[in-house]
A and B are shown apart, each in its own frame.
Chain A
Amino acid sequence: MPNEDLTQLSVSQLGHLIESGEISPVEVAEAFIRRIDALQPRINAFITRADEHALQAAREAEKEILRGDYKGPFHGIPVGLKDLFWTKDVRTTSGSLIDSEFMSTEDSAVVSRMKAAGAYFIGKLHMTEFAFDGTSLNRHYGPARNPWDLARMAGGSSSGPGAAVASGQVPIAIGTDTGGSVRVPAALCGITGLKPTFGLISRFGSTPLSWSMDHVGPMTRTVRDAALALNMLASYDSRDPDSIRMAPQDYSRELDRGVHEMRIGVPSDFIWEVMDPEVEEAFRNAMVQMESLGSRIQEISTPDLGLINAAGSVVQTSEAATIHRSRVLALGQHFDPSIRRRIESGLFIPAEAYLHAQQVRAKLKGVLLESLEDVDILATPTTAIAAPGIEQERVTIQGQDVHIREALLRITRVFSTVGLPAISVPCGFTKGGLPVGLQLVGKPFSESLLLRAAQAYQESTDWHLRRPEPVEQE
């Protein structure tokens, strides 16, 4: 197999080839480095490359495998890291100027888990400043561009992970999701993005945005790879106060059991108040497909999801302001002005309003879970629109003038706020050739079922196999 083709494979496929000895980890690393060389100038998915680190780690993996110490499907696999995961040998900027030279003294939990599985990082990926934006704009490092249309945004805040996986610069990336930051770029870039149940993956050693809403999640080409990544990453960690103590599970074990008789609920109201017709059409077609696979689709009433979003916004902004207060007041001129304003606005939220938002969150989480009693999973479009222009601030959707952040995050934020597991998989394309995402949402800790549903859909369609043409053109 020509080395360039290696960059088009999934983790699962690469893992098989490495395990069988058909390819070496060093060949894999070299192929991805060449791909990054070719695409970084046009897509800008990386803030910091780690070529030497990657080659060294690949050589180590090769030696280990040759001496019979094969560690599993991630052994010798390069991973892209959103640039807020600490790596003790490479800077962690968190997409900011202020932390542009920050060197951590230890690795994040994610990096430790990767190393234990034989994986290594190949670079630190683009993100919006301190993860506080759903676009892919960054005034310090430039915008990350969408591989399907370089004039459009990749989505955020895990913009580099979305763009890098979609363009074959990494086979997998790890992002974080506070209001949709894994699923939104996954949807806009046409890849798979999983946000597990709150607390399932340790956040130790990742720059926080909002302690009670931050999640870590894998961004991959396939659902199978997301399941394998969850196997690698999910683990109790006493260093993260919200880490959940769970028995280890194999999330890939039941992937191929199908969706026969699975009950899928589709919310009847909030989602559709702001929705691009092309996105809705792709979603409705996906539901027909799920029905043809044996699942049962039913409309359900949910509590006011807009209120959940409002609670999430107050909580997130208040926590972000607490985290960044001293720096935003002393060094505010080094922040992007719009991110600075959003952080500063949190300084004006009274303690009782923050706590009331947490009460609302708790109450509506309970009501939402009750409304899920008669279904196994929920389905929605991931975003209300496909990828907007890089600098676009507003969009008109069926006569409504909507801010881009609202159009991108209003559906995903609900499920970050209540901590439920959710996955985005590609479910079609607009007439303009932009990917559309299908979001499936599960009950707490039902990742196996959620991944099974996503896998059934993905295996019966070919949206995830399409590759963006613009990046192949010189």
Chain B
Amino acid sequence: MAERPDLTYEVFITLAQQQGFEMDNPRLKELFREVQTMFRRMKLLDQVDTSGIQPGSGSIPADAFTPE
């Protein structure tokens, strides 16, 4: 998978604007740190090869296992 670029503050501000955030809000700096944490997790997951894998969810088919 192509390496996910780091999230710069400028890109973050553009994205925030698109989402409808108020741009003069001093809170955005704190939010940027939170979003960076999330991006680090996404980058971590990028190491996992998922070719051929269907996106899962919590669901487990009831007939996949025999209850004890």
Chain A residues close to B by CB (< 8 Å): 197-199, 212-213, 215, 242, 244-246, 249, 254, 306-307, 310-311, 313-314, 317, 329, 337, 341-342, 344-349, 353, 355-365, 417-419, 443-449
Contacts and interface: CB of A to CB of B under 8 A. Distances in A.
Contact of A444 (B4, B41, B45, B65): B65
Interface of B: 4, 7, 12, 15-16, 19-21, 27, 30-31, 34-35, 37-39, 41-42, 44-48, 50, 53-60, 62, 64-68
B42 A349 contact: yes
Given A254-B68, A345-B35, A347-B19, 15 more contacts: A198-B59, A215-B58, A242-B58, A307-B47, A307-B48, A317-B38, A329-B20, A344-B21, A345-B37, A348-B19, A356-B42, A359-B56, A362-B54, A445-B60, A445-B62
A326 B30 CA distance: 20
Contacts of A342: 34
Nearest to B16: A348
A51 B42 CA distance: 47
- Judged by DSSP, the binding face of B is loop
A67 B12 CA distance: 67
Contacts of B44: 306-307, 310
Contacts, number: 126
Contacts of A249: 67
B56 A314 contact: no
A213 B60 CA distance: 12
14 contacts: A199-B59, A245-B62, A254-B68, A307-B44, A310-B45, A314-B45, A341-B30, A348-B39, A356-B42, A359-B56, A362-B54, A362-B56, A419-B59, A445-B62
Contact of A313 (B7, B27, B41, B62): B41
B19 A213 contact: no
A329 B42 contact: no
Contacts of A317: 38
A254 B15 CA distance: 55
A443 B65 contact: yes
B21 A363 contact: no
B38 A314 contact: yes
B42 A314 contact: yes
